[in-house]
Amino acid sequence: MLEPSTRAGRPTLATIAASAGVSVATVSKVVNGREDVSAQTRASVQALLSQHDYAPPSARRPTPAAPTVEFLIDGEFSAYGLQVIEGVVTAGVQLGISVVVGQLHPDGAPPGSTAPRVWARRLATAGRTGVIVVTGELTAAHVTALTRVDLPLVVIDPLNLPRTEVTSVGSTNFAGGLTSTQHLLDLGHRRIAFVGGPPASSCNQARLHGYRAAMETAGCPVPPEHVLNEAFNYDAGFRAGTSLLSLPEPPTAVVGGSDSIALGFMEAARVRGLRIPEDVSVVGFDDTELAQMSTPRLTTVRQPLREMGAVAVRTLVRMAAGEVLESHHVELATELVVRGTTTPRR
């Protein structure tokens, strides 16, 4: 059994040598691809290296010509993600950092389809300074794998946090849900529904709690069928709209968990011959370009998406330099932007 190392739990050449019953020099030769080691000894040492996820210092922290950040989006590239990318790239240019953009789970591959340790080693070997993931579904194994190769991680708007110490950047989601719902209450609406993203998403839960807090304070009961959570996309909003608007007493207003959800709901209303906002008022969340391109223009909660990306980069740079962060989570303020999809209840 390999004894734990005193260096953040990572095995060293000495501990692997002791486990294999060979010298440190022999292990070093195997790691560096030297030929003067017997085939049997090489196979034994390589098995231990693989078993214990050993990564040599050169693989854990290479020294590229310029620092490079791996920016990963979980799922498809959306208007939301593009604004975050803009913030990441702009901050990277200012700090002299290159940004490589990719997908955490390309082609819809499920989490874990690529072994986390293989994924992390690939990033480390490629010379990445750190990793930024936006709305990503990471597992504890992903986080552990990055830690083993000394790659700092920052998550933007995480769907889940497998560990509380994972550094994340988000916005005041609870306040956004509260403010958007209060806006509709102030307009006289009482049957207000909530259509959100994935039920387990931490940002979605915060928005939902803000909605419920506003409704409870106003003394407005929330029927179970008025709360639907599925995904942060247009199709989910359309399906939710079709369901909600078919109720015997449909809502007169809706809080959407994203701009895409809100636009999907608006299309469902249009198909039923309803007008926005005369028949149903709608509020979105994010304030992407889609909000200003819709007809009518979408009332929404603005997230500072570009600034969230910039803060993630600056935070990652501090972590890579070994600085101690004041907090593992940073929240930037949201703001309600009133446009043309909300009106007083008739």
Q: Calculate what percentage of the chain has a pLDDT beyond 70.
A: 90
Domain membership flag for residue 346? no
Q: Are residues 118 and 264 in the same domain?
A: no
Domain membership flag for residue 275? yes
Domain membership flag for residue 270? yes
Give the pLDDT confidence score for residue 117 in this predicted structure.
Answer: 86
Q: Are residues 120 and 235 in the same domain?
A: no
| Position with higher pLDDT, 54 vs 107 | 54
- Total tally of structural domains belonging to the chain: 3
Q: Are residues 96 and 145 in the same domain?
A: yes
Give the pLDDT confidence score for residue 48 in this predicted structure.
Answer: 84
Give the pLDDT confidence score for residue 140 in this predicted structure.
Answer: 85
Mean pLDDT over the full length of the chain? 88
- 3-state SS string over the chain? CCCCCCECCECCHHHHHHHHCCCHHHHHHHHCCCCCCCHHHHHHHHHHHHHCCCCCHHHHCCCCCCCEEEEEECCCCCHHHHHHHHHHHHHHHHHCCEEEEEECCHHHCCCCCCCHHHHHHHHHHCCCCEEEEECCCCCHHHHHHHHHCCCCEEEECCCCCCCCCCEEEEECHHHHHHHHHHHHHHCCCCCEEEEECCCCCHHHHHHHHHHHHHHHHCCCCCCHHHEEECCCCHHHHHHHHHHHCCCCCCCCEEEECCHHHHHHHHHHHHHCCCCCCCCCEEEEEECCHHHHHCCCCCEEEECCHHHHHHHHHHHHHHHHCCCCCCCCEEEECCEEECCCCCCCCC
Q: Are residues 186 and 167 in the same domain?
A: no
What pLDDT digit, counting tens, does each position of 169-223 carry?
Answer: 999 999 999 999 999 999 999 999 999 999 988 899 999 999 999 999 999 999 9
Q: Are residues 121 and 152 in the same domain?
A: yes
pLDDT for 238 beyond 50: yes
Q: Are residues 224 and 284 in the same domain?
A: yes
Q: Are residues 177 and 167 in the same domain?
A: no
Q: Are residues 177 and 166 in the same domain?
A: no
pTM, 2 dp: 0.78
Domain membership flag for residue 252? yes
Give the pLDDT confidence score for residue 10 in this predicted structure.
Answer: 64
Q: Are residues 226 and 184 in the same domain?
A: yes
Domain membership flag for residue 153? yes
Q: Are residues 232 and 141 in the same domain?
A: no
Domain membership flag for residue 299? yes
Domain membership flag for residue 63? no
CATH number of the domain bearing residue 209: 3.40.50.2300
Q: Which domain holds residue 229?
A: 173-303
Q: Are residues 98 and 213 in the same domain?
A: no
Q: Are residues 143 and 198 in the same domain?
A: no
Domain membership flag for residue 191? yes
